[in-house]
Amino acid sequence: MEEQLMPDGVLDRQKVCVVYGLGGIGKTQLAIEYARVHKPAYTSCFWLDGKTELSLIQSLLKIVPRLPKGQILDRDIQDVKGLGELRKRAQEILKWFASKGNYQWLLIFDNIDKTSFEDDDIADASRSASYNITEYFPPCDAGSIIITTRLQRLVSLGNYVHLGKLDCLTLSSFHIDWKPTADNILDAISLVERLGHLPLALVFAGSYISKTTIVKYLELYDNSWTVLHGQMKNRTDYPERTIITTWQISFEELVARDKGAANLLRLWGFLDNQELWFQLLRWQGFQKAAPDWLQQITASEISFLATINTLLDYSLIEQNDNSETYSVHTVVHDWIRASLGGRKDEELLYTAMISVGLTAPRQDAKGSAALERRLLPHVLRVSEFSDQIDSIEQRLDHAFLVSHQNLGDLCKHQGKLVEAEKIYQKAIRGREKAFGPEHPSTLDTTNNLGLLYEKQGKLVEAEEMLQRALRGREKALGPDHPSTLESVNNLGLVYADQGKPAETEEMYQRALRGLEKALGSEHVSTLSTINNLGLLYIGQGKLVEAEEMLQRALKGKEKAFGSEHILTLGTISNLGNLFMNQGKLVEAEEVYQRALRGYEKALGPEHPSTLTTLRNLGIIYEEQEKFAEAETIYQRVLRGQEKALGSEHISTLDVINGLGVLYTKQEKLVEAEEMLQRALRGREKAFGPEHPSTLEAVNNLGLVYADQGKPAETEEMYQRALKGFEKALGPEHISTLHTINNLGILYTGQGKVIEAEEMLQRAQRGYKNALGPEHRATIDTINNLGNLYARQEKLAESKAMFQQALRGYRKVLGPEHTLTLTMINNLGIIYAEEEKLVEAEEMLQQALQGRERVFGPEHISTIDTINSLGLLYEMQGRPVEAEEMLQRALRGKEKTLGPHHMSTLETIDKLRSLHVGQGRQVAAGEICQRASNDTGMVVRAKDAQYR
């Protein structure tokens, strides 16, 4: 404004600045502040009330006493009769501004919201209150003029400033008696955000907040908007205006000028306020069924833009940055909903629902995910209103039924499962009434509701709905119709969730044969079934068949939809599952990262598909022993799943189970037990006590009990899991083999060497047959056998196992993976036992260097290797190096494990023996003191070295 208005000594033009924007945004205050700050630059400043022509003239008459004596005829206002005489008198006053030498004045024309130009075609009812503001500009090429207005078209009068959202606000500026504290600062931020940074809304909020709290005001604002604002009193700084009357005047003028624009504004109250565009109102395929006024607006893009320009002209809406969409200020939107449309105007609500529903794309359409995300806020808004209207199920017109189904589909795709369920249930009741329960349209919604229940983990309800859809489609369409085969495939999804692999494969194979015959091998439905078969084979440990299916599905989807479509991303994510099961962690991480980027871009960071992929990435980090990164991811996923799906959803329980396992690996055993008990209770409730998912939680609880030193409880859990897995999945299934392997480890620790060897060898054979000799699980079992043989002092057998495991880990996981380094460490200990001291030192030094790089110098694994090197140096007759290493190990153990941990006491005992052997009795006594007289508890456990 300063650049546009400040006097510069040039007298060839009049400087005009039009400040326009939404009512209540602070235009008047800005103009007054400009005049206050720059008053010294002007010889005179005058403010004129421009609400009406009469108020403007009266303002001009009131400035006469302030003008220099003798420069204008001083007449008594009472002598001026009629509007014509008043206009003449006003023109006389305006001539003063054109006086010679009088060029540094400032005039503020405030609230010029009812002005007209010669070519305006406003209706007569509105024109009667309008006037031409330019007739009241002083007749000269000097001076500065500020015009404040809601009318965007007035920018043609000169330069302009569009006053939009104010990013930085101080509540004290709006007369709000509020002092910031640690407890209420977030409340204040919520207030400003909820009121859209609108100054007038904050001013009127202040009168309430001074008597109550910000939290209470926001509660009243959301629940009782009309009552709250209806009771507001005018303020001295906002005379004759409240938050309601600010826009009501503009709306009344809008009705007189363009009823279609007024109806569009009312319709907007049932939509989200952020984004409206031409195609959203087009009623694709049903244009002739739209209300007459909406047909006129959307007859062409030109007619739509003409309506939008009318709303823009009154500053009731704003053009977004992309210039193709439009928005309404949040408080104006609240006013529209409360005052203009309201919840009783059902026809407008139906118009809004149909507009959004008919715009929803098919999921396999190009760009469908991006369009669904744009539509989702509108879907949630119309759903909010439709929940309160009972007659919605009475709507039987075709456009409404189609749009209603689409709304449910969109909510399901976008992870809004609760909203989708409500919409589907209403849609089914409506279609049953309109067409009957066995009509294909009714069965479509029945099928979709069944799929929704499957996503929600309501497997009984899902099977019931999908069986009903299948029977109906077989009867109405025949057993080989694509819609029938879709229901067959969907039943396979439910059977997979129920842990019924035989029934699952039967459904998928039937669907695949039929779809290939009916639609071809590259149709999206065919590819989806191929993808599902790949997932099934992963679960069955048929990894070769799984890869064949998933690669086939991926090629087909990339060809049909492109590499970033959500259907393609689903198969990419599934390939990550396959690579993880094959022990190809690098490839798995790369694939998950690719899928994650795609999902975040297409669906957003909190969509269930995004969260599932993120969780898989956490599993990879867990496998790579990046526990901190994994925990951060799991916690984020858990929060997202609980928010989107609820705390008892099967996907949420999966994350809880995974977090429990991670806590076990981090030795956070209390947290681990809490999580796994919660997962077990949830899965028993959802699936029953013998479902594989329930048994997985049972097995994982056994891991925690093992780490807690509860062998009886551990064995009870493992045995229960083993019996259940063998019965449900068979003796060769991966889950069965996991539990067998765990039992082998348990028996190793208990010294039950015969039972341990039997279990571990059985697990190794099973893994090798199912997963191949180079899979991580197969190699793990070889490592476990090496530990068992080391306990038995079968050094040759132990060394052979460790060497085989080392080769496998190096190839699969890399030379610096923690398990690779563990094998090197263990081989060093074996060489020491065989008195191959040179080879032992080489191995232990290699392990130490690697563990220091990977873990750091104070990690317990690093400390264990240091301890082993100390023992080796003693064997080599190098007491100085031995003491140095053992002292270093002792300091690390005391810090990491505590002074009374068995491993700490073992190192103390070894240092004592070293000192005694050197004849250093005093040093031996001092080291014993550090054991706090607990050295008698030291038991040299052979397997403690093999960490």
pLDDT of 805 reads: 94
What confidence tens digit (pLDDT) does each residue in 271-309 have?
A: 998 899 999 999 988 989 999 999 999 999 999 999 998
Q: Is the pTM of this model over 0.75?
A: no
pLDDT at 93 over 60: yes
pLDDT of 197 reads: 73
What confidence tens digit (pLDDT) does each residue in 634-691 have?
A: 999 999 888 877 788 778 888 999 999 999 888 888 999 999 999 999 988 877 888 8
Least trusted range by pLDDT, from 112-116, 411-415, 629-633: 112-116
Give percent above pLDDT 70 in the chain. 86
Whole-number Å distance between alpha carbons of 734 and 537: 11
Mean pLDDT within 487-505: 88
CATH topology of domain 2-163: Rossmann fold (3.40.50)
pLDDT of 343 reads: 46
Residue-wise DSSP of 490-537: HHHHHHHHTT-HHHHHHHHHHHHHHHHHHT-TTSHHHHHHHHHHHHHH
Q: How would you label 401-432 residue by residue, b for 16+ Cβ within 10 Å and e otherwise?
A: bbbbbbbbbbbbbbbbbebbbbbbebbbebbb
Decide: 452 and 421 in contact? Cβ < 8 Å: yes
pLDDT of 785 reads: 95
**Of 128-132, 329-333, 391-395, highest mean pLDDT:** 329-333
Question: What SS3 state is found at 613?
Answer: helix
pLDDT at 342 over 80: no
CATH topology of domain 818-947: 1.25.40
Q: Write down the mean pLDDT value for the chain.
A: 84
pLDDT band, residue 254 (cuts 50/70/90): confident
What confidence tens digit (pLDDT) does each residue in 200-221 have?
A: 677 666 666 666 677 777 777 6
pLDDT of 564 reads: 86
Mean pLDDT within 558-582: 88
Alpha-carbon distances of 257 from 53, 124, 340, 611, 626, rounded to whole Å: 19, 9, 17, 50, 66
Whole-number Å distance between alpha carbons of 447 and 453: 10
Decide: 284 and 375 in contact? Cβ < 8 Å: no
pLDDT of 323 reads: 67
Q: How would you label 560-577 residue by residue, b for 16+ Cβ within 10 Å and e otherwise?
A: bbeebbbbbbbbbbbbbb
What confidence tens digit (pLDDT) does each residue in 754-800 have?
A: 999 999 999 999 988 877 888 888 999 999 999 999 989 899 999 99
pLDDT band, residue 947 (cuts 50/70/90): very low
Whole-number Å distance between alpha carbons of 309 and 505: 59
What confidence tens digit (pLDDT) does each residue in 395-412 have?
A: 778 888 888 889 998 988
Positive or negative, the CA dihedral 685, 686, 689, 694 is negative
pLDDT of 737 reads: 92
Least trusted range by pLDDT, from 104-108, 337-341, 496-500, 586-590: 337-341
pLDDT of 943 reads: 39
- 319, β-bridge pairs: 326
Higher pLDDT, 595 or 85: 595
Alpha-carbon distances of 528 from 11, 315, 372, 867, 903, rounded to whole Å: 76, 49, 20, 55, 54
Decide: 393 and 426 in contact? Cβ < 8 Å: yes
